[in-house]
A and B are shown apart, each in its own frame.
Chain A
Amino acid sequence: MNGQPKLSCHNVWKLYGPGAEDYLHKNPEATLEQITAADLIPAVRGANIDIHDGEIFVIMGLSGSGKSTLVRCLSRLIEPTAGELHFNGQDLRRVSEREMIDIRRHKLGMVFQHFALLPHLTVLQNVAFPLSIQGQSKTRAEARAREVIRLVGLEGRETYFPRQLSGGQQQRVGIARSLAVEPELWFLDEPFSALDPLIRREMQDEFLRLQALLKKTIVFITHDFDEAIRLADRIAIMKDGAVIQVATPEELVLNPASHYVEEFTRHIPRAKVMSVGSVMTRCEVGQSDSAPGDGGPGNGDQVATIPENARIADVAHAVVSAAAPLTVVDETGNTTGTISREAVISVLIGPGPAP
């Protein structure tokens, strides 16, 4: 997470209404109440976000909290009222129309909530469309399009029209289309919200599979917290146009920045977000030989160690059914601590009554 961010936005505002720019110029620190009192609609208020190479950055918030507006500002689909945008260090708000078109053709991809497929084109033509806009020859564009269509598992349907496909299949086309140009930065605006829950789950798996393969930098919008914690490396929570916390899913649950975030995360099963590392009993690194109690050769237990960054939910069964606390190791295999059955159970059923 060090080095230059892929995309960073600094103090980005978007107000709707007449005279928004003037107003913001005069009141750069305007509060929500002041803005509404001035008959303006605050869609995004002073957002600061850095998105790093290769991460899945999720933007979360209730309906109307300004997620789409923020992402549309980041991609310059709409012009922010104020603020700075940098993409690979380049000032996005200063680039010319021509350069912006070039950046969009080669470096950005976007997937839309309602798929936004062109109704008059077949699957193949839809996927090849951005390539043909770049000016690639038809044969090359179609060859590449077939490749990505295979990647999303739609081969055999190249000649179908969008209306002949199910919602999930249509969104696969949308994903294939945005991947065809091999974008460096990939925006997805609630890509799975229009799908029913079972298909949504399937598409999330598909998405994770693709990301493991392609390692894109991703900005993903959702209003579904379950989806966010399944996919996110980091999550930004928005409320009334402001970004109120940016953190890993675990941090959000453990250290909510405000009461609002706490409310937001309350119903989330903690075992799904908390890692083993956050509840284990720490010990000196590298003491693997003299781990207390368990792990001895006489025990014959195969699951002797568990990784530190695993989610509790994934290892709960192993820990609870083990006779003694298990050893925890980090990525390099060094022992960092132990995890006991009590620790896991208290995460699973929640903390007991306060003493």
Chain B
Amino acid sequence: MALPRTALLWSGLFILTWLLSAWSKSLAEAMDLSWMVKYPTAWVFPLKDYISGAMRWLVEDATFGLFTFTDATRALAWLIEKPYELVRALLSSGFERGFGRDAVQIVPPLSWLAVLAGVMALGHYARDWILAAIVGTSFAYLATFGQWDSAMITLASVVIAVPIGVAGGLFLGIQAYRHPLFDRLLKPLLDLMQTIPIFAYLVPILFMFGFGPVSALVATVIYAMPPMVRVTTMALKAVDPEIKDFGIMSGCTRHQITWRILVPSARGSLMLGVNQVIMLSLNMVIIASMIGAGGLGFDVLSSLRRLDIGGGFEAGIAIVILAIAIDRLSQAFAERDGNTAPVSTEISVLRRHPRSFIVLAVLILSMSIGQFAPMFQTYPEAQTLTTGAFWSETVKFLNISYFDQFEAVKIFFLKGFMLPIKRFFLGIPWPWMIGIVVLLGWKFGDWKLALINGLMALFIVTTGMWSKAMITVYLCGASVLIASVIGIPLGVLAAVNKRAGAIIGVVIDTLQTLPSFVYLIPVVMLFRIGDFTAMIAIVLYSLTPAVRYTAHGVASVSSELIEAGVVSGCTRWQILTRIRLPLALPDILLGINQTIMLALSMLVITALVGTRDLGQEVYIALTKADTGRGIVAGLAIAFIAIIADRIISASARNARIRFGLEAAHD
């Protein structure tokens, strides 16, 4: 009985809001309440100016007695820059003497054959010949399609960022494990770091470290580290307490317990964290090309700007291939966990390390022959293939022959779907919207959630971000709606049909390894810039969790309940709609929650294709190096994410409790 009543309440509220939104303009004019519709500029709290001021003070005047803040950042920059330059020289530019145009190369970089042999050896070491072949093919592709140099620059950034991210994450994770108080302080900070869109941290970093690879690396490390911290703390907590007791009983010191007992015992889970750091680093290195990381990301970005479709597509595919190669390799390492039979020390060094010797041999041979025959050193440019022209032609052909069709689809969606939603959100008077957010918090959670929601919504209003925030909500909402409409049925299909499940699984896994940037490329080509393009890119990027959580939820409904349904004569359709779907609801809700989070993080990237939301605000702040503006807009996005997350998590919890009770009554 309770359910229909609440349903009635919510739909009533929705209709009321809709009416209010539609008539708010005229209503406000009639009653002289225009401040309700549009938050007056005079009331805006200039938080962003304060933040910018503080930042300027930090960089220009702040000093810690012996050294200034700027000295500290310079020292840090130096620490990161030196190893980066070394790796970059090794992989891509070679060692040079002199500067700029006068530079003379004294030692060339590693030959492409040596790098190829190296990654194949790693693949074989980590798993088998198949992996070696996959990785080898990927790198050979990079060489033959002329993406080698950019790919090596990207790889150099990853090679530097990953160890820093892993070591830092391990350190913080261990501290959090040891000191519960530190853990409690760190957790909300990590939550915030993961919800603030990446571009927002680019701004202050840019301000402190200047345009260039160091900024990009710092941003990458900050972005990639939080999961490692979490994984470390969790993995250490999950170590069997008996094993820890054993460590104490053997007289280990605290240091020995950490490094000889806990960390090695938790190695399996820790490696999963490392894999995450690697994938996030790769994603971020691509994005960070905007602040000077160079490499493949830069190629994509500049092609997008030039509307060079072929070039962008090729660089995009190169990113995908590099990402897949690195992902498979690091996963293989994670799964390897000490399965090797220990090798006896009697046989010769050469027999014990055959792979290292082969790689070394290839290195020496290719680089010495390379002195005379450069094709062994660098892949000959004349031999590179390019598909750029093909893609450009294809897209041109599509655009010319099917222009009307594409345009029709776009206009249909814009007019019939997106614009009404946009108008709806922009029309709602802000006090009403805040009221609804508070009400939702109170209904699904408790008064604390209501209060937090209210405060966060107020922050968005008072800092003058309201209308951009509403555009964000609209774009994100429309995308999530479509992603759910596509993703949930796919998830159900994957759960009930084995063959479809396998195929969908592979597709979803691949989608998930792709850096977010890549999604923009094909869409921009076909639909040019604008909200519709942004929406499609967001849908593609954020589809994964909707599918995955739904599949998991539907598949994990207990078989007893299904059998009970079969016995009482349900058809397959009834089993799906009456038993599986309702019971999977909590999981589906969590999936949608994740979809929203991904959508919000993608939103900032779609600012590149000309949306007018908070993402664009962050992007503008980035180009103007306006710290305050970037941080405030970033926080606004984070707050939207947090509000959505808390409300949906609370309602998922409610649903679970409700089903628990219903199952108990049956």
Query: Which residues of A pack against B, CB within 8 Å?
Result: 72, 75, 77, 101-106, 108-110, 112-116, 118-122, 129-130, 133-134, 159, 161, 181, 187
Contacts and interface: CB of A to CB of B under 8 A. Distances in A.
Contacts, number: 63
B240 A110 contact: no
A149 to B, nearest CB: 15
A120 B245 contact: no
B483 to A, nearest CB: 40
A116 B251 contact: no
B265 A77 contact: no
Contact of A133 (B252, B264, B267, B342): B252
B337 to A, nearest CB: 7
B249 interface: yes
Interface in B216-254: 240, 242-243, 245-246, 248-253
A133 B260 contact: yes
B51 interface: no
Contacts of B248: 77, 104
Nearest to A100: B251
B267 A116 contact: no
B246 A110 contact: yes
A104 B337 CA distance: 30
User: Which 4 pairs across A and B sit closest by C-beta, in order of nearness?
Assistant: A105-B251, A104-B251, A130-B250, A116-B242
A101 B251 contact: yes
B416 interface: no
B254 to A, nearest CB: 9
Contact of A114 (B240, B250, B261, B342): B240
Contacts of B252: 101, 133
Nearest to A109: B249
A181 B242 CA distance: 19
Interface of B: 240, 242-243, 245-246, 248-253, 256, 260-261, 264-265, 267, 337-339, 341-342
A133 B246 CA distance: 12
A319 B242 CA distance: 48
Contacts of A133: 250-252, 256, 260
Given A133-B256, A159-B342, A118 B251 contact: no
Given A110-B245, A110-B246, A114-B242, A119 B251 contact: no
A129 B250 CA distance: 8
Nearest to B344: A159
B238 to A, nearest CB: 13
Contacts of A115: 242
Contacts of B341: 159
B265 A161 contact: no
A232 to B, nearest CB: 23
A25 B342 CA distance: 56
A110 B253 contact: no
Given A116-B243, A120-B338, A108 B249 contact: yes
Contact of B261 (A103, A104, A118, A159): A118
B256 to A, nearest CB: 6
Given A106-B251, A116-B243, A133-B251, 15 more contacts: A77-B245, A77-B248, A101-B252, A101-B253, A104-B249, A105-B250, A105-B251, A110-B246, A112-B245, A116-B240, A120-B267, A122-B342, A134-B251, A159-B341, A181-B250
Nearest to B254: A97
B267 to A, nearest CB: 6
Contacts of B245: 72, 77, 110, 112, 116
Given A77-B248, A114-B242, A120 B253 contact: no
A106 B339 CA distance: 32
Contacts of A77: 245, 248-249
Contact of B246 (A112, A122, A161): A112
A133 to B, nearest CB: 5
A118 B249 CA distance: 14
A224 B246 CA distance: 24
A177 to B, nearest CB: 8
A105 B248 CA distance: 9
Interface centre among A103, A161, A187 (most CB of B within 10 A): A161
A246 to B, nearest CB: 24
B246 A116 contact: yes
A133 B254 CA distance: 12
Nearest to B340: A161
B264 A120 contact: yes
Contacts of B264: 118, 120-121
Given A118-B264, A118-B265, A130 B251 contact: yes
A113 B245 CA distance: 12
A72 B267 CA distance: 27
Interface centre among B246, B256, B265, B338 (most CB of A within 10 A): B246
B272 to A, nearest CB: 16
A130 B260 CA distance: 11
B338 A161 contact: yes
Contacts of B265: 118-120
A119 B268 CA distance: 10
B260 to A, nearest CB: 7
Interface centre among B250, B256, B267 (most CB of A within 10 A): B250
A133 B256 CA distance: 8
Contacts of B240: 114, 116
B167 to A, nearest CB: 20
A106 B242 CA distance: 20
B334 to A, nearest CB: 14
Nearest to A102: B251
9 contacts: A103-B251, A116-B242, A116-B243, A118-B261, A119-B338, A133-B251, A133-B260, A161-B339, A181-B250
Contacts of A122: 342
A236 to B, nearest CB: 21
A293 B256 CA distance: 71
B477 to A, nearest CB: 46
Contacts of A72: 245
Contacts of B338: 119-120, 161
Nearest to A108: B249
Nearest to B244: A116
A194 B232 CA distance: 30
Contacts of B243: 116, 118
Nearest to B342: A159
Nearest to B263: A120
B290 to A, nearest CB: 42
Contacts of A116: 240, 242-243, 245-246
A236 B245 CA distance: 24
Nearest to B256: A133
Nearest to A75: B249
Interface centre among A101, A105, A108, A114 (most CB of B within 10 A): A101
